[in-house]
Amino acid sequence: MDQAGIIRDLLVWLESHLDQPLSLDNVAHKAGYSKWHLQRMFKNITGHAIGAYIRSRRLSKAAVALRLTGRPILDIALQYRFDSQQTFTRAFKKQFTQTPASYRRALDWSSFGLRPPIRMGAFSMPQPTMVNLPEIKLYGHTQCYTCTLEQISNHRAEMRKHFWQQFLHNAKSNIPDVVYGLHQVRSSMDKEDEQEILYTTAIADDHFAKTLDSVEVITLQGGDYVQFSYDGLKEGLQDFILVLYSTCMPTLNLTRRSGQDIERFYTPQGLTTADIRCDYLIPIRKSA
């Protein structure tokens, strides 16, 4: 395997082991090279020092845990291999220009400081479109579930499928051309290591809404959003969303404001076949 292939595989391995001991000796052993040769090769291929890259990715993972869970700061620091809360706070403030506590309390979620994972090979970043939506009246049903941060991707894909099946199973007319999934995450009030996920299945067609049971009127918040388009297998949507948050938002230096993410599905592709076509919109606050 060529050097680029070796580093590509190593990057994938590093991403799944950021909460494990990753001394240069351990990483070099995994790669099968001396640590000196590995450091030179990593810098030549990626343009980054391997030690600094690992630390910045650990801090980025810690930042996500701060925003999406209620876990104590010390627990998060120890998970990502910092030996004390003080050491973690110093490193975090250097990368994000604010303390972990301030980062957690902020109303908006700035992507400044988040370090995207290095992606090699056939990767093309989804293209953004900045849009301003008016307030929209929808008709739907909101459900809630909880899971850990590590479970969120698998659970979200399963719950999305389950909730749509429930919502549309008794429809007495053709499904509208566009349906909406509204998604919001907040830390659980009961368990500090879990998130509470709110997912709303909804439509804008009031005539179709009358064919469904127990729908409520929902106001879709207007404002500025960044929109990305997805066209592919259902199984790939969740990975696509992870790329938006881990790579697109920090690369574009966008700030997520409070509000719901919007999944705008176009049917029948969105609900009746293996392939789906949808727009994914994230609420943002434009810089002054």
**Domain ranges (residues) in the chain:** 3-110, 129-283
In the three-class reduction of DSSP (H, G, I as helix; E, B as strand; rest coil), residue 22 is classed as coil
Could you tell me which CATH number the domain at 3-110 has?
A: 1.10.10.60
Quick: pLDDT tens for 1-44.
Answer: 588 888 999 999 999 999 999 988 888 888 888 889 899 999 99
Q: Is the pLDDT of residue 227 over 90?
A: yes
The rounded mean pLDDT for the chain is: 90
**What is the pLDDT averaged over residues 189-218?**
84
pTM attached to this predicted model: 0.91
What span, in angstroms and rounded, lies between the C-alpha atoms of 273 and 219? 29
CATH C-level class of 129-283 = alpha beta
What is the per-residue pLDDT for 25? 86
Q: Would you place residue 66 in the very low, low, confident or very high pLDDT band (cuts 50, 70, 90)?
A: very high
Q: Where are the alpha helices (DSSP H) in 32-184?
A: 35-46, 50-68, 73-79, 85-96, 100-105, 152-168
Question: What is the predicted pLDDT for the residue at 174?
Answer: 75
At residue 177 the predicted structure's pLDDT band, cuts being 50, 70 and 90, is confident
Do residues 24 and 51 lie in contact, with contact meaning Cβ atoms separated by under 8 Å?
yes
Residue 48 pLDDT more than 60? yes
